[in-house]
């Protein structure tokens, strides 16, 4: 990943916009809408797992160690943000870029995600 391409999670966006609101006293309409979306996306209401910046960074690092995801860092970042805990969810994300992976590779991704977020379901 180059310095120009840095992937961040919704929790980071939420925190940055909340900090901007505190400093400025208000946000523009667009910033308020972005904040509302980031608050929802980083909460348990979206995926039953709350997004945490440290977990995102750790998960992204582990996913980037997988050869096929290292070639597609945007997909690795999407997986780290969405936190898919089922194979079909990973397959849907991979399909967006037509990244071919066999079931064993997808199982590995799901296992990494579940371990990182302490998913017991």
Q: What is the pTM of this model?
A: 0.79
The CA distance from 30 to 43, in Å, is: 20
Q: What is the model's pLDDT at position 45?
A: 67
Q: What is the model's pLDDT at position 55?
A: 85
The CA distance from 107 to 68, in Å, is: 14
Measured in whole angstroms, the distance separating CA 49 from the mean position of its chain's CA atoms is 11
pLDDT digits (tens, 9 = 90+) for 56-71: 889 999 999 999 999 9
> Half-sphere exposure of residue 38, counting CA atoms within 13 Å on the CB side?
19
pLDDT digits (tens, 9 = 90+) for 6-50: 888 888 899 999 999 999 999 999 999 999 988 888 877 666 667
Q: What is the model's pLDDT at position 30?
A: 95
């Amino acid at each position: 990943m180059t310095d120009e391409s840095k992937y961040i999670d919704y929790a980071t966006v939420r925190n940055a916009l909340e900090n901007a609101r505190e400093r400025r006293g208000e946000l523009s309409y667009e910033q308020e809408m972005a904040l509302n979306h980031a608050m929802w996306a980083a909460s348990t209401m979206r995926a039953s797992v709350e997004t945490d910046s440290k977990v995102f960074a750790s998960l992204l690092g582990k996913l980037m160690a997988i050869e096929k995801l290292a070639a597609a860092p945007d997909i690795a970042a999407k997986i780290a943000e969405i936190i898919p805990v089922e194979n079909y969810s990973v397959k849907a994300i991979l399909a967006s870029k037509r990244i071919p992976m066999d079931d064993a590779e997808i199982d590995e991704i799901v296992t990494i995600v579940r371990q990182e977020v302490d998913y017991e379901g």
